[in-house]
């Protein structure tokens, strides 16, 4: 389709342009002189004039296109009003030089010579058609350039966001490693068998972070990861901890981005105190995924909670903004003796296997 369009503009259009210019000028001149060029006895002259106009049009269009390509090479990223005015000024100058050199001279040698109305028509009619051609040509060029720049800008923006996401996601790893290794370290002095089981769970978590992650994962995979993480955390927790886990049975093939909920669970284990209860809940409400973490807190909890461990809530907030723009809610409520965090992912997609 594109090749056909290019062939039309390169091989067919210049001939049509020449014919349109010739017939328009001839009809206007005949309306002034009362002549009818199609009734002339010298058909050979009319045929020669037609052939000459077509040839001149091929030459003129070729020069115009060369000039426009020169502008494109010199100001490839400039689509300003100033550039357009500069192009039009050069084309008008080219038009007057070219038409008076070839058409006016040719007219002076045919029929009764060049009259003032001949010169007027030769310098106005082709100019109007040339400006129409320029508008069509430049609309196609500038639109293609605009779309190309838009695509390039979107790609750069997307690459930047992907880089930021990778950086935010990578921040979880050192924090996670520190907590897990610290847990195993204390277990080594108390129970080597439990420490081995912790290492096994730790390897499962690490495998999920390093190998099992795709762009999105099923909620069931993410919940399995969280349950393993919770088991590892409970090893270090006090026996007084009242842990409540409620995971909706309907959570299965829905797709989410991985490791989003981990900071909430980490914070809950880090800051649980007071009555020493912790509740983790995940459920579907229609097409919306709700994840709620609540925990009891001491009377005087250290601040700022939003940046616990150097990663925390601000990291999560930014990832949600990047991954679920306008499709999530994130709220944190600190009550007198408890802390509540809620993430809602709206209208998440279900992957049918």
Domain coordinates in residue numbering, the chain: 2-154, 191-345
Mind listing the pLDDT tens digit of every residue in the chain (353 residues)?
566 777 888 888 888 988 888 788 777 766 665 566 555 656 677 788 788 888 988 999 899 888 888 888 887 767 777 888 888 899 889 888 888 887 777 666 665 555 666 677 777 888 888 888 888 888 877 777 667 667 766 666 666 666 555 655 555 556 667 767 777 777 787 777 878 888 888 888 777 776 544 578 889 989 998 998 898 888 777 788 999 999 998 888 899 988 888 889 988 988 888 899 999 999 999 899 999 999 998 876 554 444 443 456 788 888 888 889 899 999 998 888 899 999 999 988 776 54
CA torsion 280-286-288-292 (nearest 10°) is: -20
Q: Rounded mean pLDDT of the chain? A: 79
Query: Using an 8 Å Cβ cutoff, are 314 and 276 in contact?
Result: no
Give pLDDT, residue 153. Answer: 67
Give every CB contact of residue 145 below 8 A, 6+ residues apart in sequence. 79
Give pLDDT, residue 342. Answer: 95
**Dist. CA 256–CA 261, nearest whole Å:** 10
Query: Using an 8 Å Cβ cutoff, are 264 and 341 in contact?
Result: yes
Give pLDDT, residue 19. Answer: 86
Please state whether beta strands 217-218 and 338-345 pair in parallel, antiparallel, or not at all (unpaired).
Answer: unpaired
**Dist. CA 16–CA 53, nearest whole Å:** 10
Write down how long the chain is. Answer: 353
Give pLDDT, residue 304. Answer: 46
| Burial (CB count within 10 angstroms: exposed 0-12, middle 13-18, buried 19+), residue 1 | exposed
Give pLDDT, residue 309. Answer: 39
Please state whether beta strands 277-285 and 242-247 pair in parallel, antiparallel, or not at all (unpaired).
Answer: parallel
Give pLDDT, residue 306. Answer: 44
Give pLDDT, residue 305. Answer: 47
Query: Using an 8 Å Cβ cutoff, are 90 and 138 in contact?
Result: no
The CATH architecture of the domain made up of 191-345 is: 2-Layer Sandwich (3.30)
The full 3-state SS of the chain, as one line of letters, equals: CHHHHHHHHHHHHHHHHHHHHHHHHHHHHHHHHCCCHHHCCCHHHHHHHHHHHHHHHHHHHHHHHHHHHHHHHHCCCCCCHHHHHHHHHHHHHHHHHHHHHHHHHHHHCCCCCCCHHHHHHHHHHHHHHHHHHHHHHHHHHHHHHHHHHHHHHHHHHHHHHHHHHHHHHHHHHHHHHHHHHHHHHHHHHHCHHHHHHHHHHHHHHHHHHHCCCCCCEEHHHHHHHHHHHHHHHHHHCCCCCEEEEEECCCCCCEEECCCCCHHHHHHHHHHCCCCCEEEEEEEEECCEEEEEEEEECCCCCCCCHHHHHHCHHHHHHHHHHHHCCCCEEEEEEECCCEEEEEEEECCCCECCC
């Amino acid at each position: 389709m594109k090749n056909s369009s290019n062939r039309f503009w390169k091989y067919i259009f210049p001939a049509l342009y020449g014919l349109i210019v010739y017939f328009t000028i001839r009809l206007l001149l005949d309306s002034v002189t009362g002549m009818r060029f199609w009734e002339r006895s010298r058909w050979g002259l009319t045929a020669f004039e037609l052939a000459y106009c077509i040839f001149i049009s091929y030459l003129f269009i070729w020069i115009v296109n060369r000039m426009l390509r020169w502008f494109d090479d010199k100001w490839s990223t400039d689509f300003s009003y100033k550039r357009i005015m500069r192009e039009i000024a050069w084309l008008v100058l080219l038009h007057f030089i070219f038409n008076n050199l070839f058409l006016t001279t040719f007219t002076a040698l045919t029929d009764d010579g060049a009259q003032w109305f001949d010169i007027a028509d030769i310098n106005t009619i082709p100019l109007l058609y040339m400006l129409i051609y320029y508008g069509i040509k430049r609309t196609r060029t500038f639109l293609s350039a605009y779309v190309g720049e838009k695509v390039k800008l979107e790609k750069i923006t997307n690459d930047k966001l992907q880089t930021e996401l990778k950086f935010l996601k990578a921040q979880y790893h050192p924090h996670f490693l520190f907590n897990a290794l610290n847990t195993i370290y204390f277990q080594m002095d108390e129970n080597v068998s439990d420490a081995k089981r912790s290492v096994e769970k730790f390897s499962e978590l690490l495998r999920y972070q390093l190998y099992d992650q795709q762009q999105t994962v099923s909620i069931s995979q993410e919940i399995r990861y969280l349950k393993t993480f919770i088991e590892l955390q409970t090893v270090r927790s006090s026996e007084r901890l009242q842990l409540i886990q409620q995971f909706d049975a309907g959570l299965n093939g829905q797709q989410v981005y991985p490791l989003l909920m981990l900071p909430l669970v980490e914070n809950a284990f880090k800051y649980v105190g007071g009555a020493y209860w912790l509740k983790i809940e995940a459920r579907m409400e229609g097409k919306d995924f709700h994840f709620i973490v609540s925990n009891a807190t001491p009377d005087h909890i250290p601040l700022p909670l939003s940046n616990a461990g150097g990663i925390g809530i601000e990291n999560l907030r930014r990832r949600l903004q990047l991954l679920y723009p306008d499709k999530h809610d994130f709220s944190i409520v600190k009550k007198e003796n408890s802390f509540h965090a809620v993430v809602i992912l709206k209208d998440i997609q279900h992957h049918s296997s």
